[in-house]
Chain A
Amino acid sequence: MTVLWEGFLQGLQGVWTVARVVIPLMIILEIAQGNGLLQKLNRLLARPFRAIGLGEEGAFPVVVAMVFGLTFGSGVILNHVREGKVSPEETKVIGTFMALAHALIEDTIIFMSLGAPLLLLILPRVMVAYLMAYLVNRRNQHLSLPEGHHIQGIN
């Protein structure tokens, strides 16, 4: 019984550690969203995203996923695919990036509150996600090139 109680208290302590950061954070996030900062961030990131084959429409689900999480990013991408705003090639790039780097704020805070260093939590993740997405995009172009020749040949 004492063991369970001890675990219970440890758990509560953990909840408190994270809660006192998460609650203010969610308020800040809400204010940021209400002021259209998400769109501004998207425009700011337009150039690096173009280098991995994503247009502004394609970059948006990635930005949403990075800020709010995988589920939200996936929701946006499903919608974008339905409306034909992203190509199948873009979907692959987005899926790769999103799977590796999402919910950057929430995930980072969980481990930061346990004492892990901020930069170590964000930088490797974003850099590796970017690199993998870059490779996927290059492979996409590589694959689509012979196909293009083929079509030209027919014409």
Chain B
Amino acid sequence: MLEVSREMLAKGTRAGLKTTWELAKVVVPTAMLVAVFKASGLLGSITDFFAPYMGLFGLSGEAAVVLFSGYLVNLYAAAGSIMALSLAPKEIAILAVMLTFAHSLLVELPISRKAGSPLGYVLIVRMGCSLGAGLLLGVILS
């Protein structure tokens, strides 16, 4: 019933490879950056600073790095940070849900605006849902 042509396979493979390349361009530098952060002790400072707030979401202080890279850059950067840190599975799940609601904001907010939604509105809705989900999961999963 499903028609599968050689052209579809070629096009799909090309799209997959392109995504992989886009992914590599972000994930590899992010992982390297986080590794440097870690070795230089900067990660320790960031962690200490954010630890009290991250606790609200059931996360350790380090997780702040994942949230920032996801909110500001994109999910691949967040994935790169997750790889470079050692987080509990529970923390990865919480971060994942929070970041599905709000991510790549620097790129996606202007896109939303172009499609007719005011920037501030989309920012508030997305961040509100993200932080709300984090608070909820922090309570449920702890």
Contact = CB atoms under 8 A, between A and B. Distances in A.
B117 A99 contact: yes
Contacts of B89: 115
Interface residues of A, number: 57
B117 to A, nearest CB: 3
Contacts, number: 181
Interface of B: 2-5, 8-9, 11-13, 15-17, 19-20, 23-24, 27-36, 38-39, 75-76, 79-80, 82-84, 89, 92-93, 96-97, 99-101, 103, 108, 111-112, 114-117, 122, 125-126, 129, 133
Given A27-B9, A120-B97, A15 B28 contact: yes
B117 A95 contact: yes
A34 B112 contact: no
Given A26-B12, A77-B115, A99-B108, A14 B80 contact: yes
A16 to B, nearest CB: 9
Nearest to A132: B125
Q: Give the secondary structure class of B's interface.
A: helix
A59 B93 CA distance: 30
B100 A98 contact: no
